[in-house]
């Protein structure tokens, strides 16, 4: 404990530790000796380090009183900082410039998001750390160095925000980027602009933990990251209803596509969850692999280069949940379809289709899985290291399914793609017409026939469209044959147009799936991923268009940045300092002027009749722009007597904001026209393929149009104008991507290449604009909260308003007045050195406060330990005294009990001697008798037989004198068991049991058939009157009074034969019916029955004796054979009892003397048993009368 108390501690309210451990931690300061045994490492850091033990919540509250209320704390939200809150520290101090990746300092930190302070900050000193994770290691036992020693660290390499560079120069900026890049810190700020340097390798900085770290964070309180700008844009859109746009620029290979994916994935991760929301997010994210497959290609600079510009508007509801989006594409590089230089590849989809398509699919598309077979793929195998084309093809198919493409649409899309690929294999041969003019024809018709089969087109139609052209002269059409070169031009033009229109259809189809329903109120976040500025050895029409777009983006960047800066100065009441910057509107006007711009001149040349070529075009440009200071050509330089051998004759040069670019005009007119002969459009319209046909609506012969289509330049100009108008309505966020080397080598930094990009991206100009006037500004409240410890008048509590407190604080620190400016809500500091000095003083004051907290903590800990020990001693004493008293009481109790036992024994012995001789025998006998009876009853209680009614077991009496009592108890117990059993029965069960009891009384030990009926339940109704519609009349006769219904056999009086009958017993009648007609044959009232007779055997014979006065009694008694004799007689007996209160007279005899119409029957034993055949012999008054009758028992 002594070691623990002597160690100095600083409270580190780490948000990171709170998230993982649930409690802040105490960290040992350097120079405090080794860690105490049993110290607990913080799980918030992945590597072990020396750490102090936990401190409870009460301790935390006590220690935080000085610091959290007196200084430090995170900076306010970005809304409070405004667009100009530069210089916010993103590592250890929220509003202090920090490189973030420097060595961890041994000094404490309370600011920002709770990270340890890096050694590059003012007041820090370098410790050891792992660059990848930034985990502090042991800093040794030396005392903290003097604060003045840290001044050398305030160089360019220590700055995470380039706004705080001092001095500001290209060399310092480049050195900062290189230093941060070497520490794998690829992101750097220029105020709110993020600079991203492509590392060309995966980095562990895009994990879900990172997403959570940057979610709803303060932009200037975390390390520079693309997630920070994505979160800031999303929060501004969600919380302040400001439409956002994220502009991602940079040259090819700088990582623009990956940056746009990271932005989209972050927004998808932090937005709400739900089935519909997740579906929309998945569709938006899955549009990337589809568009990359059809719009990206490998170039010399980039393995996954976007060969089109993409702008996606993601639309959100009022809660910030994505609803859908709209994608716009710009200027697909369709010339790549027919030509690409060696070392590059065509669009990914061709290689993915050939590598990932199944054998059945390729056979259906009439393709071979061999890239070297196809002319548009340069007839060479192209395997890209690190890229699995087959897996990417499957991923693209899965993405299409998620977006909502039907299988038919996917098949049609791939069929058109196969058509484009196969067009490159169509070879032409030269021939001559009869007139001697050169013509062309298809050299190998196999490819043409396969293309025609794919699209449902007549091969001759396609061959005619490729080898000839229809020219209209007045009202006549003339078919003109094309030469081989012209035929190849038509073939390539067709392939480019098909693919370009297919790509436009693909974008429209994706928009159909992700577009938001009209009428819903929504917010918009736009993400622009468009070509970077391009300067090649040979720059053509595509580079001219791309660089024009970048000029427009640079224009909007400068204007909106200056506008934002000026608005803040005006809003804060600070005098605006004009900033000198290059206004590139003169270059934009040079290109896009509607009358005398380069694009206008190009369109004019394309439309001018007569001979038109690039020479006339360059001549016109030289005439119009001869005196323009941003335009140069060989002719204009010669006129000025300037010699420049680097500028060829058919070229012109434009001084762009990023540098001078020389353009070769060869191909300008052809690419700007981009004409497709009407014959080809009409041929595509004639195809049976629905998708291909829809791509060429102008080929419809029913709607001919003589209007020329707009040129490529005018289309792109209009698209850029629409894009600029859209961007002006949104709050911009910028990501500037930089390519560190040309070889795509991981973590290789080429200074010259990066410096060139820094220049043409205008980063230096951006920094100058950001630090115009004042380099740092912050709200009064967080500024005062952070630095109030530097003044005795503001520490620990300032009772006035925040602005007055800031003025008092800075006045006491005696900074020059020209270094400070007080706005309405913010303090402005002109130079970074002033801020560095302020931070240095704060670090010194923090060390003093840390010592105070340590001393206070030691005293508090000792007092707590003493109080705990005193409380423990009092508790132990109390428990000991109680224990002693309890032991004393137990000893006294044992002594008293012993004395009482001796006294009771003495008293008993005296009484025994007095009464034993007189009545001891009787007492002992009664005692023994009672004990035997008690033992018997207790044993009987513990060994009672089961509760089953049929179980008649009973334990025997242990003693002979208990036999009678035992038998009596046995009978009582059995009656009680039966009573309990009866109480459990339902009314139906009671009725059945009562009937069985009645049967027992009638037949037990009297008739042999009774034993067989015991296991058979009495059902009563054996005919199914309710289910059989045939018996409806009988059911009407019985109504609700039916007691029993069964099929019996009636014995004929005349001949002894049996006839089947249906017997129905009701509460009032007994009915015999014919089973075929279901009609009653005989209806007897119960009062007409005077008795019944049965035999004692196992037969079912029943004789019913009728009163002679009854209607049926005149015919004699009834003799019936019943399969349920016992139940029938029982129910007849019960019914008579209920109806007449008289029992049924039942005779069980072996011989029956019938009435006058019956003979006398003798029943031999067993004659009726088991359904056998019985022989009856009777005498009816006539001697010698014998009759044999057979009945089925």
Is there a cis peptide before residue 167, judged by omega within 30 degrees of 0?
A: yes
Look up residue 419 and give its two tokens.
Answer: 């058509």
Look up residue 971 and give its two tokens.
Answer: 């009978």
DSSP string, 800-855: S-HHHHHHHHHHHHT--GGGEEE-SSEEEE--HHHHHHHHHHHHHHHHHHHHHHHH
- Find the helix packing angle between 275-295 and 256-270, rounded to 10°: 170
The gap from C-alpha 327 to its chain's centroid, in whole angstroms, comes to 24
- From the candidates 32, 302, 664, 712, give the one annotated as an active-site residue: 302
Q: Contact at 8 Å (CB) between 789 and 195? A: no
For residues 729 and 638, give the distance between their C-alpha atoms in angstroms, rounded to a whole number: 45
The gap from C-alpha 711 to its chain's centroid, in whole angstroms, comes to 46
Q: Positive or negative, the Cα torsion across 373, 375, 378, 384?
A: negative
Q: 993-1031 burial string, b = 16+ CB within 10 Å, else e? A: eebbebbeebbeeebbbbeebeeeebebeebebeeeeeb
For residues 263 and 187, give the distance between their C-alpha atoms in angstroms, rounded to a whole number: 14
For residues 739 and 259, give the distance between their C-alpha atoms in angstroms, rounded to a whole number: 13
Q: Helix, strand, or coil here: 13?
A: coil
Q: What is the DSSP letter of 145?
A: P
- From the candidates 198, 252, 265, 539, give the one annotated as an active-site residue: 252
- From the candidates 32, 236, 257, 633, give the one annotated as an active-site residue: 257
Q: Is 257 part of the annotated catalytic residue set?
A: yes
Q: For 102-134, what is the HEC assignment?
A: CCECCCCCCECCCCCCECCCCCCCCCCECCCCC
Contacts of 1006 (CB under 8 A, 6+ apart): 1096, 1148
- The pLDDT of residue 1152 is 59
Residue linked to tokens 């006339």: 616
Q: Contact at 8 Å (CB) between 94 and 38? A: no
- From the candidates 188, 305, 547, 712, give the one annotated as an active-site residue: 305
Look up residue 467 and give its two tokens.
Answer: 């080898």
Look up residue 595 and give its two tokens.
Answer: 């009358």
Work out the burial of residue 757: count CB atoms within 10 Å of its CB; fewer than 13 is exposed, 13-18 middle, 19 or more buried: buried
Q: Is 276 part of the annotated catalytic residue set?
A: no
Residue linked to tokens 């089947």: 1060
Contacts of 886 (CB under 8 A, 6+ apart): none
Strand order, beta sheet including 523-529: 187-190, 193-197, 731-738, 244-249, 523-529, 309-316, 322-330
Contacts of 906 (CB under 8 A, 6+ apart): none
The per-residue pLDDT for range 1022-1047, each reduced to its tens digit, is 888 888 888 877 877 777 688 899 99
What are the residue ranges in the chain where pLDDT is below 70?
1-158, 220, 436, 473-475, 520-521, 577, 579, 610-611, 704-706, 772, 915-918, 1040, 1113-1114, 1152-1193
The values of phi and psi at residue 583, to 5°, are -95, 110
Q: Is 532 part of the annotated catalytic residue set?
A: yes
Residue linked to tokens 């035997």: 932
- From the candidates 532, 1154, 1178, 1193, give the one annotated as an active-site residue: 532
Look up residue 789 and give its two tokens.
Answer: 């410890």
Residue 1184 CB: number of other CB atoms within 10 A? 5
Comparing C-alpha atoms, which of 201, 269, 256 is closest to residue 230?
A: 269
For residues 284 and 277, give the distance between their C-alpha atoms in angstroms, rounded to a whole number: 11
The per-residue pLDDT for range 614-636, each reduced to its tens digit, is 888 899 999 999 999 999 998 89
- From the candidates 253, 309, 357, 713, give the one annotated as an active-site residue: 253
- Find the helix packing angle between 348-356 and 407-423, rounded to 10°: 110
Q: Is 120 part of the annotated catalytic residue set?
A: no
Q: 242-269 burial string, b = 16+ CB within 10 Å, else e? A: bbbbbbbbbbbbbbbbbbbbbbbbbbbe
For residues 296 and 587, give the distance between their C-alpha atoms in angstroms, rounded to a whole number: 30
Residue 515 CB: number of other CB atoms within 10 A? 15
Pairing of strands 523-529, 244-249: parallel
Q: Is 299 part of the annotated catalytic residue set?
A: no
- The pLDDT of residue 667 is 87
For residues 950 and 944, give the distance between their C-alpha atoms in angstroms, rounded to a whole number: 15
Q: What is the DSSP letter of 539?
A: B
User: What distance, in Å, lies between the first and last C-alpha atoms of the chain?
Assistant: 107
Q: What is the DSSP letter of 44?
A: T
Q: Give this prediction's pTM.
A: 0.58
- The pLDDT of residue 748 is 93
For residues 803 and 783, give the distance between their C-alpha atoms in angstroms, rounded to a whole number: 10
Q: How many helices (H) and strands (E) would you count in the chain?
A: 35, 31
| CA dihedral of residues 49, 54, 55, 56 (deg, nearest 10) | 150
For residues 578 and 592, give the distance between their C-alpha atoms in angstroms, rounded to a whole number: 28
Length of the chain: 1193
For residues 139 and 125, give the distance between their C-alpha atoms in angstroms, rounded to a whole number: 10
Side-chain-side CA neighbours of residue 598 (13 Å):
27
Look up residue 488 and give its two tokens.
Answer: 């190849």
Residue linked to tokens 């094309």: 482
Pairing of strands 322-330, 428-432: unpaired
For residues 346 and 340, give the distance between their C-alpha atoms in angstroms, rounded to a whole number: 7
Q: 411-437 burial string, b = 16+ CB within 10 Å, else e? A: ebbbbbbbbbbbbbbbebeeeeeeeee
- The pLDDT of residue 972 is 93
H/E stretch holding 310 reads strand 309-316
Q: For 1116-1138, what is the HEC assignment?
A: CCEEEECCCHHHHHHHHHHHHHH
Q: What is the DSSP letter of 793?
A: T
Q: Contact at 8 Å (CB) between 754 and 740? A: yes
Q: What is the DSSP letter of 640?
A: T
- From the candidates 192, 251, 534, 565, give the one annotated as an active-site residue: 534
Q: Helix, strand, or coil here: 9?
A: strand
């Amino acid at each position: 404990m002594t070691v623990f108390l002597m160690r100095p501690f600083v409270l580190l309210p780490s948000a990171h530790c709170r998230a993982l451990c649930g409690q802040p931690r105490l960290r040992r300061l350097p120079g405090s000796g080794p860690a105490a045994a049993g110290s607990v490492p913080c799980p918030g850091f992945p590597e072990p380090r020396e750490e102090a033990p936990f401190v409870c919540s009460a301790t935390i509250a006590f220690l935080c009183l000085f610091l959290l209320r007196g200084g430090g704390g995170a900076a306010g939200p970005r809304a409070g900082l405004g667009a100009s809150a530069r210089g916010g520290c993103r590592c250890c101090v929220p509003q202090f410039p920090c490189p973030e990746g420097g060595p961890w300092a041994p000094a404490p930190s309370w600011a920002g998001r709770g990270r340890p302070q890096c050694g590059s900050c003012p007041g820090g000193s370098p410790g050891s750390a792992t660059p990848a994770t930034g985990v502090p290691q042991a800093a040794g036992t030396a005392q903290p160095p003097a604060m003045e020693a840290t001044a050398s660290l305030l160089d360019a390499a220590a700055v995470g925000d380039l706004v705080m560079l001092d001095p500001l120069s290209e060399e310092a900026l480049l050195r900062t980027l290189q230093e941060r890049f070497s520490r794998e810190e690829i992101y750097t700020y220029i105020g709110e602009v993020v600079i991203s340097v492509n590392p060309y390798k995966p980095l562990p900085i895009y994990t879900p933990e990172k997403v959570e770290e940057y979610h709803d964070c303060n932009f200037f309180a975390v390390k520079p990251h693309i997630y920070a700008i994505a979160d800031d844009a999303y929060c501004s859109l969600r919380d302040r209803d400001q439409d956002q746009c994220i502009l991602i620029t940079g040259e090819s290979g700088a990582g623009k596509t990956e940056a746009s994916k990271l932005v989209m994935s972050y927004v998808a991760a932090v937005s709400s969850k739900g089935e519909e929301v997740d579906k929309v997010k998945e569709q938006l994210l899955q549009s990337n692999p589809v568009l990359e497959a059809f719009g990206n290609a490998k170039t010399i600079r980039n393995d996954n280069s976007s060969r089109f510009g993409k702008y996606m508007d993601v639309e959100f509801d009022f809660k910030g949940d994505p609803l859908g989006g709209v994608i716009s594409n710009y200027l697909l590089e369709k010339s790549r379809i027919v030509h690409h230089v060696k070392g590059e590849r065509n669009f990914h989809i061709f290689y993915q289709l050939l590598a990932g398509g199944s054998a059945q699919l390729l056979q259906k598309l009439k393709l071979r899985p061999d890239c070297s077979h196809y002319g548009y793929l340069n007839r060479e195998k192209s395997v890209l290291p690190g890229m699995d084309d087959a897996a990417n093809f499957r991923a693209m198919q899965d993405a299409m399914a998620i977006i909502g493409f039907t299988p038919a649409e996917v098949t049609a899309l791939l069929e058109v793609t196969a058509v484009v690929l196969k067009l490159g294999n169509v070879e032409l041969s030269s021939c001559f017409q009869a007139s001697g003019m050169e013509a062309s024809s298809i050299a190998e018709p196999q490819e043409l026939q396969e293309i025609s089969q794919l699209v449902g087109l007549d091969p001759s139609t396609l061959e005619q469209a490729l080898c000839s052209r229809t020219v209209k002269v007045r009202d006549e059409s003339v078919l003109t044959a094309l030469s081989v070169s012209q035929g190849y031009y038509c073939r390539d033009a067709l392939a480019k147009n098909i693919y370009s229109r297919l790509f436009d259809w693909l974008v429209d189809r994706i928009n159909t799936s992700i577009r938001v329903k009209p009428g819903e109120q929504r917010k918009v976040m736009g993400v622009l991923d468009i070509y970077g500025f391009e300067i090649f050895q040979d720059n053509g029409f595509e580079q001219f268009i791309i660089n024009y777009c970048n000029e427009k983006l640079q224009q909007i960047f400068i204007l909106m940045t200056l506008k934002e800066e000026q608005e803040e100065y005006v809003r804060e009441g600070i005098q605006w300092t004009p900033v000198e910057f290059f206004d590139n509107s003169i270059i934009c006007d040079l290109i896009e002027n509607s009358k005398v711009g380069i694009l206008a001149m190009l369109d004019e040349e394309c439309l001018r009749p007569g001979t038109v070529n690039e020479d006339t075009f360059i001549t016109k440009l030289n005439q119009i722009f001869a005196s323009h200071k941003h335009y140069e050509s060989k002719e204009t330089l010669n006129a000025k007597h300037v010699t420049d051998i680097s500028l060829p004759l058919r070229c012109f040069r434009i001084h762009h904001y990023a540098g001078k670019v020389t353009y070769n005009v060869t191909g300008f007119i052809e690419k700007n026209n981009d004409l497709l002969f009407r014959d080809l459009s009409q041929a595509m319209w004639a195809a049976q393929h629905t998708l291909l046909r829809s791509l060429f609506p102008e080929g419809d012969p029913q709607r001919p149009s003589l209007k020329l289509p707009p040129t490529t330049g005018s289309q792109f100009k209009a698209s850029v104008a629409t894009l600029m108008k859209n961007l002006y309505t949104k709050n911009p966020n910028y990501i500037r991507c930089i390519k560190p080397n040309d070889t795509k080598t991981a973590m290789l930094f080429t200074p010259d290449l990066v410096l060139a990009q820094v220049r043409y991206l205008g980063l230096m100009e951006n920094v100058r604009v950001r630090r115009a006037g004042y380099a740092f500004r912050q709200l009064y409240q967080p500024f005062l909260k952070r630095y109030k410890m530097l003044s005795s008048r503001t520490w620990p509590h300032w009772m006035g308003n925040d602005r007055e407190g800031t003025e008092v604080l800075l006045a006491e620190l005696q900074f020059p007045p020209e270094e400070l400016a007080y706005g309405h809500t913010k303090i402005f500091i002109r130079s970074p050195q002033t801020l560095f000095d302020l931070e240095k003083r704060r670090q010194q004051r923090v060390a003093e406060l840390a010592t105070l907290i340590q001393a206070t903590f030691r005293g508090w800990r000792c007092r707590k330990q003493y109080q705990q020990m005193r409380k423990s001693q009092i508790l132990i004493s109390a428990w000991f005294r109680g224990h002693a008293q309890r032991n004393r009481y137990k000893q006294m109790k044992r002594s008293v009990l012993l004395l009482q036992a001796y006294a009771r024994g003495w008293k008993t012995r005296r009484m025994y001697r007095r009464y034993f001789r007189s009545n001891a025998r009787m007492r002992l006998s009664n005692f023994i008798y009672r004990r035997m009876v008690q033992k018997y009853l207790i044993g009987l209680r513990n060994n009672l037989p089961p509760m089953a009614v049929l179980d008649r077991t009973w334990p025997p009496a242990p003693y002979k004198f208990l036999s009678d009592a035992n038998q009596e108890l046995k009978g009582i117990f059995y009656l009680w068991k039966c009573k309990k059993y009866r109480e459990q029965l339902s009314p139906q069960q009671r009725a059945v049991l009562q009937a069985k009891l009645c049967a027992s009384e009638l037949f037990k030990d009297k008739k042999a058939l009774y034993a067989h009926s015991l296991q058979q339940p009495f059902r009563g109704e054996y005919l199914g009157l309710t289910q059989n519609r045939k018996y409806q009349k009988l059911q009407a006769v019985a109504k609700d009074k039916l007691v029993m219904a069964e099929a019996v056999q009636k014995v004929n009086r005349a001949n002894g034969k049996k006839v089947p009958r249906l017997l129905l017993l009701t509460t009032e009648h007994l009915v015999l019916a014919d089973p075929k007609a279901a009609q009653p044959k005989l209806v007897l009232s119960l009062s007409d029955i005077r008795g019944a007779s049965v035999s004692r055997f196992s037969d079912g014979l029943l004789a019913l004796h009728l009163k002679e006065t009854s209607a049926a009694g005149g015919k004699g008694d009834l003799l019936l054979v019943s399969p349920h004799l016992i139940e029938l007689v029982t129910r007849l007996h019960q019914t008579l009892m209920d109806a007449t209160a008289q029992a049924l007279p039942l005779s069980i005899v072996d011989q029956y003397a019938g009435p006058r119409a019956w003979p006398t029957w003798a029943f031999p034993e067993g004659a009726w048993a088991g359904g056998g055949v019985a022989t009856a012999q009777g005498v009816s008054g006539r001697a010698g009368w014998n009759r044999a009758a057979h009945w089925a028992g």
